[in-house]
Amino acid sequence: MKIILVGHGMVGHKFLEELQQHQIPGAEVTVLCEEARTAYDRVHLSEFFSGKTADDLSLVAPGFFAESGFKLRIRSRAAAIDRRARTVTTQDGETLHYDKLVLATGSYPFVPPVKGHDRDQCFVYRTIEDLEAMKAAGAISRKGVVVGGGLLGLECAKALRDLGLETHVVEFAPRLMAVQVDDDGGRILREKIEALGVHVHTSRNTTEITDGMTARHRMVFADGSHLETDMIVFSAGIRPRDELARQNALAVGARGGIAIDDHCRTSDHDIYAIGECAAWRDQTFGLVAPGYDMARITARHLAGQTDAVFSGADMSTKLKLMGVDVASIGDAHGKTTGSRSFRYVDECKQIYKKIVVSADSKRLIGAVLVGNADEYGTLLQLALNGIALPTEPEFLILPASDGKAKPGLGPDALPDSAQICSCNNVSKGQICTAVGDGATTIGELKACTKAGATCGGCVPLVTQIMKAEMVKRGMAVNNHLCEHFPYSRQELYHLIRVGGIKSFEDLLARHGSGLGCDICKPTAASIFASCWNDFVLQGELASLQDSNDYFLGNIQKDGTYSVVPRMPGGEVTPEGLIAVGQVAKTYGLYTKITGGQRVDLFGARVEQLPAIWEELIAAGFESGHAYGKSLRTVKSCVGSTWCRYGVDDSVGLAVELENRYKGLRAPHKIKFGVSGCTRECAEAQGKDVGIIATERGWNLYVCGNGGMKPRHAELIASDLDKAALIRLIDRFLMFYVRTADRLQRTSTWRDNLEGGLDYLKAVLIDDSLALGAELEAQMQHVVDTYQCEWKTAVSTPEVRQRFRTFVNDPQPDARIVFVKERGQIRPARAEERDHATADSMTV
Amino acid sequence: MSNETLNWTAVCKVGDILPGTGVCALIDDHHVAIFRLGTDTFYAIDNIDPRTGVSVLSRGLIGNLGEHLVVASPIYKNHFDLRTGACLEAPEHSVRTHRVQVEGDEVLVALS
């Protein structure tokens, strides 16, 4: 059976993934993809402006086409269909035969037919190419207008604001998000959006776009007023791409879209249509969830399973627009006969909540939430599952007051069949089963059920269900550090700081049991260092350090250590380089340049370390903390000092930051990068903390990672001056130190942070937990009490004498043997070593 | 086995071993790890980690896992029972234990 899929967007790709699972014998699948790239995540398109790349947004797993055997044709548009011959002709004139044809052509942005809509610097918001063009235009514009105040229009306004433009939204209707939100909700939404610096113009009908006086364009409105702007983005709705159907006399819906039946078949039963191009009972669906549903149903139908039928879709939505929560459920406007509503308005906090209940007040049929959508999950489940309402449903949206608990809807109240993730059609039952099969983190659940993997709106509910199920199965949500402490690292941190605990003995006596182990000892040592910053090898603290921290070096496979002197910002003088080279030469060490812009010296025996460091300290070097779970390096490009393109002094800032945060002990290592311009030569967006110079200051990115699981850092604040930047980094690092799990890098910490980036911004920038000053003070304490550990170690006799191979003999470990390779030493392999030591070893 | 038949070697002073840590002693070309738990309890095992052939066990962190008093090898963190030498993760990588005693200020070890 030859199957042709026309269109490789989100829904098209979902169809392929489903089809691959069915493994239909003899199926030959060809995909015609009009765009220059394969399917990507259009739901999160705006993240392209906050640092995500086209690759990040891709939905296609590496090797997908090779594995599935599906043939992909990029930049290949289906130009015509011949239903009688059952062929598709591409725009290049190639004709392909099909037995079954699936149309997933999506939709196109509607541009109002106003005069001048096709002028330069007028855009639509649909593809990555559109965004690239907008970005380029944004760089040379001061002012931008979005035409359309709907869901997508507001996303687009955020993008323009992120580009640093004075942003305006022009809406034809009298309120924003007219479809999802009522008048009162629209008013609150407008106030919130305007407070964020976006200008909103409602009830404006654009009649013409002409040359402007103060900017490129002038938009003239029907009421005689006008607005000038440098660029315009049209986001006034979408229209189904049904032209292939119209050309071939396939039935179309009353308001456009290719008409389909419950099996997603068009009026020609060999042709299916799915996603935004399809019309089911004259209705089209501009959300991804119904499209995914159609993709599943079509794949099953092609596999001979006719039981799956499309039965419409819930169009409820919850989203965050520029940090403002907006949600709409079911009959948001109360159009159902006899329905009544409850409303709650808080004009101080700018919150609006409304629920619409059935005539008998037994069922929830709709809701609108603006400014705070915490109840969305509960309300949606009440509406979708027809769960009987409490007798006083108003308490569902009223703020909790003393003595009156909010009637929440615990996971237990939901039936197993309740659909939790509508994007990927995952039920409560499936989540519980996956938990039973061992998925006990939100990341694992996402991977195996796909719940929460698309829009992410259901993640809080999925988390609740997961935790409830774990408790039910006796898998007690155990985040205890180890058998000695029934606390998480975060709890232990709190106990240590609040209790002023400074020794492990005291900690164990007050909060633990047993003797401790190789998990809790270094964790406690790290927390002591973060809180009190005493010398790590002082007294009892020394016995808590693992080998790396005890010998202040990185242990290697042969028991020798590597030595890394700090070179802040990767800057080193010729004298410094010569001194490092001289030390390496004197002690016969292997030298290698690290990824963090410094030099690593390998092959030092324990007893050599103090002498090596004495020489390095004399040459002006300090410990590089390469052995610690602490700040490693601040990588930088040469910046404006040397580079033709640099816009600020990245090296200077890198040196300053490295000197500020050196020695800070944390749950895991921390890496920084500072780039002097957007070319990003320091790869700052792959670091825990990344800083990029802009014309107006510094952009701060956080929680990036390279290594095993690369993650792009996310923009948390733009155009900061240096003082603001340092204050924000202080808060970020200390908040991470306080709350992360043991050995959790900032990227994983961020992925597991409930509330995500918005929460992090609220805590760090808006100071929602009123922690800012405390975090800054704690960081200042660490900065003020910094000492070079190696300097202290070599000058403290009782510490220095611990650097010995044998307690009773000054000779070195004869088992450490090196051979030469490419002009330097390397550890001998076992057979080489046995040969070399055969004479000296007698036991 | 009585003390008379054992060959005791004085390796260091009690104060040479920081409580909660270990040191390595060279006895007849043999590498021995000696650990000090608290102020007055000592254990000795081979210093060479059988999994890697590297002489490092004295540099591991000590503590307990359930009933076992253990040291964790600094290379791959496998645990050795200080009283029996058994490697908890892989019994085939177990090590020998040795006798330790303190006489006055001296730490003495007898190879087994």
A273-321 confidence digits (pLDDT tens)? 999 999 999 999 988 889 999 999 999 999 999 888 998 888 888 887 7
Relative orientation angle of helices A10-22 and A288-302, to the nearest 10 degrees:
30
- Cβ distance A514 to B64 less than 8 Å, yes or no, reads yes
The answer to whether A643 is a known ligand-binding residue is yes
Q: Quickly list DSSP for A639-657.
A: GGGT-SS--S-HHHHHHHH
Q: What is the pLDDT of residue A837?
A: 55
What burial class does residue A709 get, using C-beta atoms within 10 Å of its C-beta: 0-12 exposed, 13-18 middle, 19+ buried?
exposed
- Cβ distance A515 to B37 less than 8 Å, yes or no, reads yes
The string of pLDDT tens digits covering residues A475-534 is 766 678 989 999 999 999 999 999 999 999 999 999 999 999 999 999 999 999 999 999
> For residue A641, what are its two tokens?
């000092």
CATH code where residue B15 lies: 2.102.10.10
Q: Which residue stretches of chain A have pLDDT < 70?
A: 400-410, 476-478, 835-843
Q: What is the pLDDT of residue A410?
A: 63
Query: Is the separation of the CB atoms in B63 and B70 below 8 Å?
Result: yes
Pick the residue from chain A with its C-alpha nearest to B18: A543
Q: Band of the pLDDT at B4, cuts 50, 70, 90? A: low
| Amino acid at the residue A432 | C
DSSP B47: S
- Cβ distance A808 to B12 less than 8 Å, yes or no, reads yes
Q: What is the pLDDT of residue A471?
A: 80
* Total CB pairs under 8 A between chain A and B: 99
Torsion, Cα A463 A464 A465 A468, to 10 degrees, reads 120
Nearest Cα neighbor of A468 from A504, A506, A436, A424 is A436
Q: State how far residue B90 is from chain A, nearest Cα, in angstroms.
A: 18
The string of pLDDT tens digits covering residues A746-764 is 998 988 787 788 889 999 9
- Cβ distance B25 to A806 less than 8 Å, yes or no, reads yes
Of A517, A544, A842, the CB nearest to B29: A842
Torsion, Cα A421 A427 A433 A435, to 10 degrees, reads 30
Q: Which domain holds residue B50?
A: 3-110
Q: Specify the domain boundaries for CATH 3.50.50.60 within chain A.
A: 2-107+240-302, 122-236
Compute CA distances B54 → A140, B59, B76, B85, whole Å: 62, 11, 11, 16
Nearest Cα neighbor of A383 from A426, A430, A336 is A336
- Cβ distance B63 to A521 less than 8 Å, yes or no, reads yes
Q: Quickly list DSSP for A423-478.
A: TTTEEHHHHHHHHHTT--SHHHHHHHH-TTSSS-TTHHHHHHHHHHHHHHTT-TT-
Query: Average pLDDT of chain B?
Result: 93
Residue bearing tokens 């910053």: A533
State the first-to-last Cα distance of chain B, in angstroms, to the nearest integer.
10
Of A546, A808, A830, the CB nearest to B61: A546
- Cβ distance A807 to B59 less than 8 Å, yes or no, reads no
What burial class does residue A773 get, using C-beta atoms within 10 Å of its C-beta: 0-12 exposed, 13-18 middle, 19+ buried?
exposed
Of A540, A815, A842, the CB nearest to B55: A815
> For residue A171, what are its two tokens?
């809406």
Compute CA distances A45 → A49, A128, A522, A686, whole Å: 8, 8, 42, 20
What burial class does residue A434 get, using C-beta atoms within 10 Å of its C-beta: 0-12 exposed, 13-18 middle, 19+ buried?
buried
For residue A783, the SS3 value is helix
Spell out which residues of chain B touch residue A802, defining contact as CB-CB under 8 Å: 18
The string of pLDDT tens digits covering residues A440-466 is 877 788 888 888 877 777 777 788 888
| Amino acid at the residue A407 | P
Of A548, A808, A843, the CB nearest to B11: A808
Of A483, A542, A815, the CB nearest to B18: A542
Rounded Cα–Cα distance for residues A662 and A669 (Å): 11
The 10 Å Cβ neighbour count of residue A759 is 14
Spell out which residues of chain A touch residue B75, defining contact as CB-CB under 8 Å: 555, 557, 559
Q: State how far residue A794 is from chain B, nearest Cα, in angstroms.
A: 17
H-state helical runs in A672-755: 722-739, 746-751
Helix (H) or strand (E) holding A337: none
Mention every residue, 6+ apart, whose C-beta is less than 8 A from residue A270.
Answer: A83, A86, A98, A99, A100, A101
For residue A321, the SS3 value is strand
Q: What is the pLDDT of residue A839?
A: 46
Using a CB–CB cut-off of 8 Å, the residues of A that contact B are: 483-484, 514-518, 520-522, 540, 542-544, 546-548, 550-551, 555, 557-559, 802, 804-809, 811, 813, 815, 830, 833, 841-843
B69 contact A CB<8A? yes
Q: State how far residue A457 is from chain B, nearest Cα, in angstroms.
A: 41
Alpha carbon A562 to chain centroid distance?
A: 35
Domain A2-107+240-302 has CATH 3.30.565.10: no
Q: What is the pLDDT of residue A637?
A: 97
> For residue A305, what are its two tokens?
């399973």
Spell out which residues of chain A touch residue B69, defining contact as CB-CB under 8 Å: 515
Q: What is the pLDDT of residue B45?
A: 98
Q: What is the pLDDT of residue A314?
A: 80
Rounded Cα–Cα distance for residues A298 and A269 (Å): 12
For the sheet with A599-604, list strands across it: A554-555, A561-563, A599-604, A590-593
> Which pairing describes strands A107-109 and A599-604: parallel, antiparallel, or unpaired?
unpaired
Nearest Cα neighbor of A444 from A463, A460, A464, A426 is A463
What burial class does residue A624 get, using C-beta atoms within 10 Å of its C-beta: 0-12 exposed, 13-18 middle, 19+ buried?
buried
The answer to whether A637 is a known ligand-binding residue is yes
Per CATH, the number for A122-236 is 3.50.50.60
Topology (CATH level 3) of domain A629-781: Sulfite Reductase Hemoprotein; domain 1 (3.30.413)
ipTM over 0.85: yes
Q: What is the pLDDT of residue A406?
A: 52
Backbone angles phi, psi at B48, to 5 degrees: -85, 125
Spell out which residues of chain A touch residue B26, defining contact as CB-CB under 8 Å: 806, 808-809, 811
Rounded Cα–Cα distance for residues B77 and A21 (Å): 41
Of B20, B56, B72, the CB nearest to A518: B72
| Amino acid at the residue B86 | A
Nearest Cα neighbor of A216 from A136, A113, A145, A132 is A145
Mention every residue, 6+ apart, whose C-beta is less than 8 A from residue A498.
Answer: none
Pick the residue from chain A with its C-alpha nearest to B21: A543
The 10 Å Cβ neighbour count of residue A129 is 12
The answer to whether A681 is a known ligand-binding residue is yes
Rounded Cα–Cα distance for residues A356 and A366 (Å): 5
Rounded Cα–Cα distance for residues A213 and A226 (Å): 11
Q: Specify the domain boundaries for CATH 3.30.413.10 within chain A.
A: 629-781
Strand partners, A714: A702
Query: Is the separation of the CB atoms in A723 and A742 below 8 Å?
Result: no
The total number of structural domains that make up chain B: 1
